[in-house]
Amino acid sequence: MEIAVFNTQGQDTGEKIELSDKVFAIEPSQHAIYQDVRLIMANARQGTHKAKERGEVSGSTKKPFRQKGTGGARAGHKRSPLWRHGGRVFGPRPRSYGFKLNQKLRLLARRSALSIKASENNIKIIDQLVFENPRTKDFVGVLDRLQLNNKKVLVLIPAENHNVYLSGRNLPKTNIMNASDLNTYDVINAETILIVKDSVAVIHSSLDKN
């Protein structure tokens, strides 16, 4: 499929760029997208929660009263989970929430997400995105001329660009990332994908595989 290339003034340059049908025009798999997004969100969890169990709470291990003859339940020590200030039964422990997912399924998920955005005409190509100095006002001006100022935008750049990142990081609806770090969650979460022209080759090299 071909898509028009715009400049930073929001004007059509007349140039067309070819997007691979294997990446941007497949039949999307909703299940693959669901599984990949679930994995990304699971890996984002810290998993550092911890509750103290009976062997970890403070308190004496002395038997509080004799075994028999009190009329009450027997007790070994006051750190029992049945007692106030005792340990917790089966409390949360530090763990990883991640799980394994087939690489081909993750590849399918990213292709599916991009194909959905392409079918909805929510992908725009810009010839370049260069700032001499970090300036948020200039970045907002580019988005405004491309009619993307009030949308959640994922900006894909071909390589690390400090000035571009600093210019757009304060914008709450804008996410800037290297094309090589493209993931399913950020594609689905954005309303529009703004791709710098040189990033297309990076996307094809990582996703246009058999």
Domain boundaries, the chain: 2-45+100-207, 51-91
Level-2 CATH architecture, domain 2-45+100-207: 3-Layer(aba) Sandwich (3.40)
Residue 149 has pLDDT above 90, yes or no: no
Q: How confident is the model at residue 150 (pLDDT cuts 50, 70, 90)?
A: confident
* Confidence grade of residue 172 (pLDDT, cut at 50, 70, 90): very high
Task: State the pLDDT confidence band at 210, using cuts at 50, 70 and 90.
Answer: low
Contact (CB, 8 A) for 152 and 189: yes
Record the pTM. 0.85
d(CA 149, CA 171) in angstroms, rounded, equals 10
Average pLDDT, the chain: 94
pLDDT of residue 1: 85
The tens digit of pLDDT for each residue in 78-107 reads: 999 999 999 999 999 999 999 999 999 999
φ, ψ of residue 147 to 5 degrees: the values are 60, 40
